Chain A
Protein backbone atom coordinates (compact mmCIF):
# COMPACT_ATOMS: atom_id res chain seq x y z
CA UNK A 1 0.00 0.00 0.00
CA UNK A 2 1.22 3.48 -0.86
CA UNK A 3 0.24 5.72 2.02
CA UNK A 4 -0.73 9.25 1.04
CA UNK A 5 -0.90 11.88 3.78
CA UNK A 6 -2.51 15.27 3.23
CA UNK A 7 -2.07 18.62 4.97
CA UNK A 8 -4.95 21.11 5.12
CA UNK A 9 -5.64 24.37 6.95
CA UNK A 10 -8.60 24.83 9.30
CA UNK A 11 -10.78 26.09 6.47
CA UNK A 12 -10.26 23.26 3.99
CA UNK A 13 -10.08 20.84 6.93
CA UNK A 14 -13.66 21.91 7.77
CA UNK A 15 -12.93 23.08 11.29
CA UNK A 16 -13.94 26.67 10.58
CA UNK A 17 -13.03 30.05 9.14
CA UNK A 18 -10.86 32.84 10.49
CA UNK A 19 -12.34 32.41 13.97
CA UNK A 20 -10.76 28.95 14.09
CA UNK A 21 -7.42 29.94 12.54
CA UNK A 22 -5.70 29.52 15.92
CA UNK A 23 -6.32 25.77 16.28
CA UNK A 24 -3.22 23.63 16.86
CA UNK A 25 -2.35 20.71 14.57
CA UNK A 26 -4.47 17.60 14.74
CA UNK A 27 -4.57 14.31 12.89
CA UNK A 28 -7.69 12.77 11.46
CA UNK A 29 -8.31 9.57 9.54
CA UNK A 30 -11.62 11.02 8.40
CA UNK A 31 -11.70 11.84 4.69
CA UNK A 32 -12.87 15.42 4.36
CA UNK A 33 -12.74 18.48 2.13
CA UNK A 34 -10.14 18.17 -0.64
CA UNK A 35 -9.39 14.72 0.82
CA UNK A 36 -12.60 13.48 -0.79
CA UNK A 37 -11.49 14.59 -4.23
CA UNK A 38 -8.04 13.15 -3.57
CA UNK A 39 -9.43 9.79 -2.44
CA UNK A 40 -11.33 9.62 -5.73
CA UNK A 41 -8.09 10.04 -7.66
CA UNK A 42 -6.14 7.31 -5.91
CA UNK A 43 -5.22 4.23 -7.86
CA UNK A 44 -5.39 0.69 -6.63
CA UNK A 45 -2.70 0.12 -4.07
CA UNK A 46 -2.87 3.73 -2.82
CA UNK A 47 -4.74 4.95 0.25
CA UNK A 48 -5.33 8.22 2.01
CA UNK A 49 -3.69 7.31 5.30
CA UNK A 50 -4.70 10.46 7.11
CA UNK A 51 -4.97 14.23 7.12
CA UNK A 52 -3.16 16.75 9.30
CA UNK A 53 -5.07 19.97 9.90
CA UNK A 54 -3.66 23.12 11.44
CA UNK A 55 -4.97 26.67 11.84
CA UNK A 56 -3.32 29.26 9.59
CA UNK A 57 -2.62 31.65 12.45
CA UNK A 58 -1.32 28.90 14.70
CA UNK A 59 1.22 28.05 12.01
CA UNK A 60 2.21 31.57 11.03
CA UNK A 61 2.53 32.82 14.62
CA UNK A 62 5.05 30.12 15.56
CA UNK A 63 6.19 28.42 12.36
CA UNK A 64 8.95 26.31 13.88
CA UNK A 65 6.88 24.96 16.73
CA UNK A 66 3.90 24.34 14.43
CA UNK A 67 6.04 22.60 11.82
CA UNK A 68 7.57 20.35 14.48
CA UNK A 69 4.14 19.43 15.83
CA UNK A 70 2.74 18.78 12.36
CA UNK A 71 5.81 16.74 11.52
CA UNK A 72 5.15 14.58 14.59
CA UNK A 73 1.69 13.74 13.24
CA UNK A 74 3.07 13.13 9.75
CA UNK A 75 5.72 10.79 11.11
CA UNK A 76 3.11 8.70 12.95
CA UNK A 77 1.05 8.47 9.77
CA UNK A 78 4.10 6.93 8.02
CA UNK A 79 3.49 8.41 4.58
CA UNK A 80 5.01 7.30 1.30
CA UNK A 81 3.73 10.48 -0.33
CA UNK A 82 3.00 13.81 1.35
CA UNK A 83 0.74 16.42 -0.24
CA UNK A 84 0.06 19.88 1.20
CA UNK A 85 -2.75 22.14 0.07
CA UNK A 86 -3.26 23.29 -2.63
CA UNK A 87 -3.15 26.73 -1.06
CA UNK A 88 -4.10 28.82 -4.15
CA UNK A 89 -3.70 32.49 -3.15
CA UNK A 90 -4.03 31.99 0.63
CA UNK A 91 -0.76 33.45 1.94
CA UNK A 92 -0.48 31.96 5.45
CA UNK A 93 -1.68 28.62 4.16
CA UNK A 94 0.85 28.69 1.32
CA UNK A 95 3.73 29.46 3.66
CA UNK A 96 2.65 26.62 5.97
CA UNK A 97 2.41 24.19 3.04
CA UNK A 98 5.88 25.16 1.82
CA UNK A 99 7.46 24.98 5.27
CA UNK A 100 5.93 21.60 6.02
CA UNK A 101 6.89 20.07 2.65
CA UNK A 102 10.45 21.25 3.25
CA UNK A 103 10.49 19.56 6.70
CA UNK A 104 8.92 16.34 5.49
CA UNK A 105 11.44 16.10 2.68
CA UNK A 106 14.41 16.91 4.91
CA UNK A 107 13.42 14.98 8.05
CA UNK A 108 11.54 12.00 6.65
CA UNK A 109 12.92 11.80 3.12
CA UNK A 110 9.37 11.42 1.84
CA UNK A 111 8.38 12.97 -1.51
CA UNK A 112 6.40 16.12 -0.76
CA UNK A 113 4.46 18.28 -3.19
CA UNK A 114 2.35 21.40 -2.76
CA UNK A 115 0.63 23.81 -5.15
CA UNK A 116 -0.28 27.48 -5.04
CA UNK A 117 -0.80 30.68 -7.02
CA UNK A 118 2.34 32.42 -8.25
CA UNK A 119 1.86 35.46 -6.02
CA UNK A 120 1.47 33.38 -2.87
CA UNK A 121 4.41 34.31 -0.58
CA UNK A 122 4.99 30.57 -0.07
CA UNK A 123 6.36 30.43 -3.62
CA UNK A 124 9.02 33.04 -2.97
CA UNK A 125 10.05 31.42 0.30
CA UNK A 126 10.15 27.75 -0.67
CA UNK A 127 10.38 27.24 -4.44
CA UNK A 128 14.09 26.44 -4.20
CA UNK A 129 13.62 23.50 -1.87
CA UNK A 130 10.09 22.33 -2.48
CA UNK A 131 8.21 21.25 -5.58
CA UNK A 132 5.39 23.74 -5.90
CA UNK A 133 2.90 23.37 -8.72
CA UNK A 134 1.20 26.33 -10.38
CA UNK A 135 -2.46 26.93 -9.61
CA UNK A 136 -4.97 29.65 -10.29
CA UNK A 137 -6.04 32.09 -7.61
CA UNK A 138 -9.02 30.19 -6.23
CA UNK A 139 -10.22 26.70 -5.49
CA UNK A 140 -12.14 26.24 -8.76
CA UNK A 141 -9.42 23.90 -10.06
CA UNK A 142 -9.10 21.84 -6.86
CA UNK A 143 -9.61 18.41 -8.40
CA UNK A 144 -7.37 19.03 -11.38
CA UNK A 145 -4.64 20.45 -9.12
CA UNK A 146 -4.78 17.48 -6.75
CA UNK A 147 -4.48 15.16 -9.75
CA UNK A 148 -1.31 16.98 -10.88
CA UNK A 149 0.13 16.96 -7.35
CA UNK A 150 -0.49 13.24 -7.06
CA UNK A 151 1.02 12.56 -10.49
CA UNK A 152 4.20 14.46 -9.64
CA UNK A 153 4.50 12.81 -6.21
CA UNK A 154 4.16 9.37 -7.79
CA UNK A 155 6.98 10.22 -10.15
CA UNK A 156 9.20 11.33 -7.28
CA UNK A 157 8.40 8.20 -5.31
CA UNK A 158 9.22 6.01 -8.29
CA UNK A 159 12.48 7.88 -8.74
CA UNK A 160 11.54 8.90 -12.28
CA UNK A 161 13.29 11.98 -13.64
CA UNK A 162 11.25 15.16 -13.54
CA UNK A 163 10.56 17.07 -16.71
CA UNK A 164 11.33 20.75 -17.04
CA UNK A 165 9.39 23.15 -14.82
CA UNK A 166 7.29 24.43 -17.71
CA UNK A 167 6.44 20.91 -18.89
CA UNK A 168 5.47 19.68 -15.44
CA UNK A 169 4.02 23.05 -14.38
CA UNK A 170 6.06 23.56 -11.22
CA UNK A 171 8.02 26.63 -10.13
CA UNK A 172 11.69 26.42 -11.17
CA UNK A 173 13.94 25.53 -8.26
CA UNK A 174 16.93 27.25 -9.78
CA UNK A 175 18.78 24.08 -10.75
CA UNK A 176 20.85 24.04 -13.88
CA UNK A 177 20.45 20.66 -15.55
CA UNK A 178 22.88 19.65 -18.24
CA UNK A 179 21.44 18.46 -21.52
CA UNK A 180 22.69 17.90 -25.02
CA UNK A 181 21.46 20.62 -27.36
CA UNK A 182 20.99 20.11 -31.07
CA UNK A 183 22.73 23.35 -31.96
CA UNK A 184 25.60 25.20 -30.31
CA UNK A 185 24.83 28.28 -28.22
CA UNK A 186 25.93 30.72 -30.93
CA UNK A 187 23.45 29.29 -33.41
CA UNK A 188 20.67 29.23 -30.86
CA UNK A 189 21.38 32.86 -30.01
CA UNK A 190 21.28 33.90 -33.67
CA UNK A 191 18.04 31.95 -34.15
CA UNK A 192 16.55 33.80 -31.21
CA UNK A 193 17.69 37.15 -32.54
CA UNK A 194 16.25 36.42 -35.98
CA UNK A 195 12.97 35.32 -34.42
CA UNK A 196 12.90 38.49 -32.34
CA UNK A 197 13.58 40.70 -35.37
CA UNK A 198 10.87 38.92 -37.32
CA UNK A 199 8.42 39.36 -34.46
CA UNK A 200 8.24 35.58 -33.99
CA UNK A 201 7.91 33.95 -30.58
CA UNK A 202 11.12 32.70 -28.95
CA UNK A 203 12.06 31.50 -25.54
CA UNK A 204 15.07 32.80 -23.63
CA UNK A 205 17.36 30.29 -21.98
CA UNK A 206 18.28 32.74 -19.25
CA UNK A 207 15.10 34.24 -17.84
CA UNK A 208 15.71 37.37 -15.77
CA UNK A 209 14.34 37.41 -12.26
CA UNK A 210 10.92 38.98 -12.03
CA UNK A 211 10.49 41.85 -9.61
CA UNK A 212 7.38 42.93 -7.88
CA UNK A 213 8.06 46.57 -7.08
CA UNK A 214 6.29 48.14 -4.14
CA UNK A 215 4.05 51.15 -4.65
CA UNK A 216 5.84 54.44 -5.19
CA UNK A 217 6.22 56.35 -1.92
CA UNK A 218 4.34 59.64 -1.75
CA UNK A 219 6.42 62.71 -2.58
CA UNK A 220 7.88 64.60 0.35
CA UNK A 221 5.74 67.64 1.19
CA UNK A 222 7.98 69.48 3.59
CA UNK A 223 11.58 69.13 2.50
CA UNK A 224 12.67 71.99 4.74
CA UNK A 225 11.86 69.92 7.82
CA UNK A 226 12.71 66.47 6.49
CA UNK A 227 15.32 64.22 8.06
CA UNK A 228 17.32 62.89 5.13
CA UNK A 229 19.59 59.83 5.32
CA UNK A 230 22.53 59.01 3.08
CA UNK A 231 22.73 55.33 2.16
CA UNK A 232 25.06 53.56 -0.25
CA UNK A 233 25.65 50.12 -1.72
CA UNK A 234 29.10 51.18 -2.88
CA UNK A 235 30.93 49.83 0.18
CA UNK A 236 32.23 52.97 1.90
CA UNK A 237 33.47 51.90 5.35
CA UNK A 238 35.60 53.44 8.11
CA UNK A 239 39.31 52.73 7.65
CA UNK A 240 40.02 49.16 8.69
CA UNK A 241 36.47 48.05 7.84
CA UNK A 242 35.59 47.40 11.51
CA UNK A 243 32.40 45.45 10.80
CA UNK A 244 33.92 43.33 8.06
CA UNK A 245 31.52 44.31 5.26
CA UNK A 246 32.34 41.77 2.54
CA UNK A 247 33.84 43.01 -0.75
CA UNK A 248 31.11 41.25 -2.68
CA UNK A 249 27.61 39.95 -1.93
CA UNK A 250 27.71 41.52 1.53
CA UNK A 251 25.64 39.71 4.14
CA UNK A 252 25.21 42.80 6.31
CA UNK A 253 24.97 46.54 6.32
CA UNK A 254 26.40 48.95 8.88
CA UNK A 255 25.58 52.46 10.09
CA UNK A 256 28.38 54.93 10.78
CA UNK A 257 28.05 58.20 12.63
CA UNK A 258 28.43 61.55 10.89
CA UNK A 259 27.51 63.52 14.02
CA UNK A 260 29.54 66.73 14.11
CA UNK A 261 31.20 65.96 10.77
CA UNK A 262 31.11 68.53 7.99
CA UNK A 263 33.15 66.34 5.69
CA UNK A 264 34.30 62.74 5.31
CA UNK A 265 38.10 62.84 5.50
CA UNK A 266 39.67 60.41 3.01
CA UNK A 267 42.17 59.14 5.59
CA UNK A 268 39.33 57.93 7.80
CA UNK A 269 37.55 55.85 5.15
CA UNK A 270 38.09 52.91 2.91
CA UNK A 271 36.05 51.05 0.29
CA UNK A 272 35.08 47.40 0.63
CA UNK A 273 33.77 46.67 -2.84
CA UNK A 274 35.43 44.47 -5.44
CA UNK A 275 33.30 45.53 -8.38
CA UNK A 276 34.55 48.96 -9.42
CA UNK A 277 37.77 50.94 -9.48
CA UNK A 278 37.70 52.41 -5.95
CA UNK A 279 40.49 54.94 -6.23
CA UNK A 280 38.30 57.98 -6.96
CA UNK A 281 36.11 57.33 -3.95
CA UNK A 282 39.14 56.66 -1.75
CA UNK A 283 40.56 60.04 -2.85
CA UNK A 284 37.30 61.74 -1.91
CA UNK A 285 34.51 59.75 -0.21
CA UNK A 286 31.98 62.45 -1.18
CA UNK A 287 32.06 61.04 -4.69
CA UNK A 288 30.02 58.21 -3.19
CA UNK A 289 28.51 59.56 0.05
CA UNK A 290 27.87 63.30 -0.51
CA UNK A 291 27.97 64.50 3.10
CA UNK A 292 29.60 67.81 2.12
CA UNK A 293 26.71 68.90 -0.11
CA UNK A 294 24.14 67.40 2.26
CA UNK A 295 25.54 69.64 5.04
CA UNK A 296 25.32 72.66 2.71
CA UNK A 297 21.69 71.90 1.96
CA UNK A 298 21.08 71.50 5.69
CA UNK A 299 22.71 74.88 6.50
CA UNK A 300 20.69 76.58 3.76
CA UNK A 301 17.46 75.12 5.15
CA UNK A 302 16.72 73.20 1.95
CA UNK A 303 16.42 70.07 4.05
CA UNK A 304 15.63 69.80 7.75
CA UNK A 305 18.58 67.72 8.84
CA UNK A 306 20.99 65.06 7.71
CA UNK A 307 20.42 61.79 9.60
CA UNK A 308 23.14 61.09 12.18
CA UNK A 309 24.54 58.03 10.45
CA UNK A 310 25.14 56.88 6.91
CA UNK A 311 24.18 53.32 6.07
CA UNK A 312 26.42 51.24 3.88
CA UNK A 313 26.71 47.82 2.32
CA UNK A 314 28.18 46.21 -0.79
CA UNK A 315 25.76 45.37 -3.55
CA UNK A 316 28.19 43.58 -5.84
CA UNK A 317 26.82 40.25 -7.17
CA UNK A 318 24.34 40.16 -4.35
CA UNK A 319 21.51 37.67 -4.81
CA UNK A 320 18.09 39.30 -5.00
CA UNK A 321 16.86 37.61 -1.84
CA UNK A 322 19.81 38.76 0.20
CA UNK A 323 19.50 42.27 -1.19
CA UNK A 324 15.84 42.29 -0.20
CA UNK A 325 16.73 41.20 3.31
CA UNK A 326 19.37 43.92 3.62
CA UNK A 327 16.97 46.50 2.18
CA UNK A 328 14.31 45.53 4.69
CA UNK A 329 16.81 45.80 7.53
CA UNK A 330 17.91 49.23 6.37
CA UNK A 331 14.31 50.38 5.98
CA UNK A 332 13.50 49.23 9.53
CA UNK A 333 16.54 51.02 10.91
CA UNK A 334 15.68 54.25 9.08
CA UNK A 335 12.02 54.10 10.00
CA UNK A 336 12.84 53.60 13.65
CA UNK A 337 15.14 56.63 13.45
CA UNK A 338 12.32 58.80 12.07
CA UNK A 339 14.03 59.35 8.71
CA UNK A 340 11.72 60.96 6.13
CA UNK A 341 13.73 60.47 2.95
CA UNK A 342 16.74 58.56 1.69
CA UNK A 343 19.29 59.39 -0.95
CA UNK A 344 20.84 56.06 -1.89
CA UNK A 345 23.97 56.28 -4.01
CA UNK A 346 24.89 53.26 -6.06
CA UNK A 347 27.99 52.32 -8.01
Chain B
Protein backbone atom coordinates (compact mmCIF):
# COMPACT_ATOMS: atom_id res chain seq x y z
CA UNK B 1 0.00 0.00 0.00
CA UNK B 2 2.98 2.38 0.05
CA UNK B 3 2.04 3.88 -3.38
CA UNK B 4 -1.27 5.03 -1.87
CA UNK B 5 0.53 6.68 1.03
CA UNK B 6 2.86 8.37 -1.44
CA UNK B 7 -0.02 9.52 -3.61
CA UNK B 8 -1.87 11.18 -0.75
CA UNK B 9 1.33 12.89 0.36
CA UNK B 10 2.34 11.13 3.59
CA UNK B 11 5.91 12.24 4.19
CA UNK B 12 7.49 9.40 6.11
CA UNK B 13 6.36 5.98 4.97
CA UNK B 14 7.73 2.69 6.28
CA UNK B 15 6.95 -0.42 4.34
CA UNK B 16 5.16 -3.00 6.49
CA UNK B 17 4.86 -6.70 6.00
CA UNK B 18 1.58 -6.69 4.13
CA UNK B 19 -1.99 -5.54 4.30
CA UNK B 20 -3.44 -8.13 6.67
CA UNK B 21 -0.60 -7.87 9.21
CA UNK B 22 1.50 -4.77 8.63
CA UNK B 23 3.67 -5.48 11.70
CA UNK B 24 3.32 -9.23 11.92
CA UNK B 25 4.26 -12.47 10.27
CA UNK B 26 1.95 -15.25 11.38
CA UNK B 27 3.87 -17.78 9.31
CA UNK B 28 7.16 -17.15 11.14
CA UNK B 29 8.22 -18.34 14.59
CA UNK B 30 7.22 -15.99 17.45
CA UNK B 31 10.86 -14.91 17.86
CA UNK B 32 11.28 -14.14 14.16
CA UNK B 33 7.98 -12.33 14.09
CA UNK B 34 9.02 -10.21 17.04
CA UNK B 35 12.33 -9.36 15.37
CA UNK B 36 10.47 -8.32 12.22
CA UNK B 37 8.16 -6.04 14.21
CA UNK B 38 11.12 -4.55 16.01
CA UNK B 39 12.91 -3.88 12.70
CA UNK B 40 9.88 -2.09 11.27
CA UNK B 41 9.46 0.01 14.42
CA UNK B 42 13.14 0.95 14.44
CA UNK B 43 12.81 1.96 10.82
CA UNK B 44 9.87 4.16 11.85
CA UNK B 45 12.09 5.85 14.45
CA UNK B 46 14.76 6.36 11.75
CA UNK B 47 12.10 7.90 9.52
CA UNK B 48 10.88 10.23 12.28
CA UNK B 49 14.38 11.60 12.76
CA UNK B 50 15.26 11.96 9.06
CA UNK B 51 14.61 15.25 7.22
CA UNK B 52 12.41 14.79 4.15
CA UNK B 53 10.83 17.25 1.75
CA UNK B 54 8.59 14.90 -0.19
CA UNK B 55 6.84 11.55 0.36
CA UNK B 56 9.65 9.13 1.15
CA UNK B 57 9.46 5.38 1.59
CA UNK B 58 11.80 3.84 4.18
CA UNK B 59 12.24 0.13 3.51
CA UNK B 60 13.08 -2.14 6.43
CA UNK B 61 16.83 -2.73 6.46
Segment from A37-45, A130-138, A181-189, A218-226 that makes contact with B: A218-226
Supposing A280-B20, A343-B44, A345-B23 touch, asked if A216 and B11 sit within 8 A by C-beta, the answer is yes
Residues of A within 8 A of B (CB): 208, 211-214, 216-221, 223, 226, 234, 276-278, 280-281, 283-284, 286-288, 290, 292-294, 296-297, 302-303, 341, 343, 345-347
- The reply to whether A290 and B19 contact each other, CB–CB distance below 8 Å, is no
- The reply to whether B45 and A290 contact each other, CB–CB distance below 8 Å, is no
In the complex, A126→B55 CA distance in Å? 29
- The reply to whether A281 and B21 contact each other, CB–CB distance below 8 Å, is yes
Q: Please name all residues of chain B whose beta carbon is closer than 8 Å to the beta carbon of A221 when the two chains form the complex.
A: 49
How many of chain B's residues have a CB under 8 angstroms from any CB in A?
32
CB distance from A301 to the nearest CB of B (A): 12
Q: Please name all residues of chain A whose beta carbon is closer than 8 Å to the beta carbon of B42 when the two chains form the complex.
A: 297
Q: Please name all residues of chain B whose beta carbon is closer than 8 Å to the beta carbon of A234 when the two chains form the complex.
A: 22
With contacts defined as CB atoms under 8 Å apart, how many contacts are there between chain A and chain B in the complex?
A: 92
In the complex, A208→B4 CA distance in Å? 12
With both beta carbons as reference points, the residue of chain A lying nearest to B44 in the complex is identified as A343
- Per a CB cutoff under 8 Å, which of A211, A219, A277 touches B20? A277
With both beta carbons as reference points, the residue of chain B lying nearest to A221 in the complex is identified as B49
- The reply to whether B19 and A217 contact each other, CB–CB distance below 8 Å, is no
In the complex, A141→B38 CA distance in Å? 58
Supposing A216-B11, A216-B53, A293-B41 touch, asked if A287 and B22 sit within 8 A by C-beta, the answer is yes
B45-56 interface bits toward A, Cβ cutoff 8 Å, 1 = contact, 0 = none: 100111111110
- Per a CB cutoff under 8 Å, which of A218, A290, A341 touches B41? A290
In the complex, A211→B10 CA distance in Å? 10
Supposing A216-B11, A290-B41, A293-B38 touch, asked if A346 and B5 sit within 8 A by C-beta, the answer is yes
Q: Please name all residues of chain B whose beta carbon is closer than 8 Å to the beta carbon of A287 when the two chains form the complex.
A: 21-24, 26, 37
- The reply to whether B41 and A343 contact each other, CB–CB distance below 8 Å, is yes
- The reply to whether B26 and A283 contact each other, CB–CB distance below 8 Å, is yes
Supposing A276-B20, A343-B44 touch, asked if A218 and B51 sit within 8 A by C-beta, the answer is yes
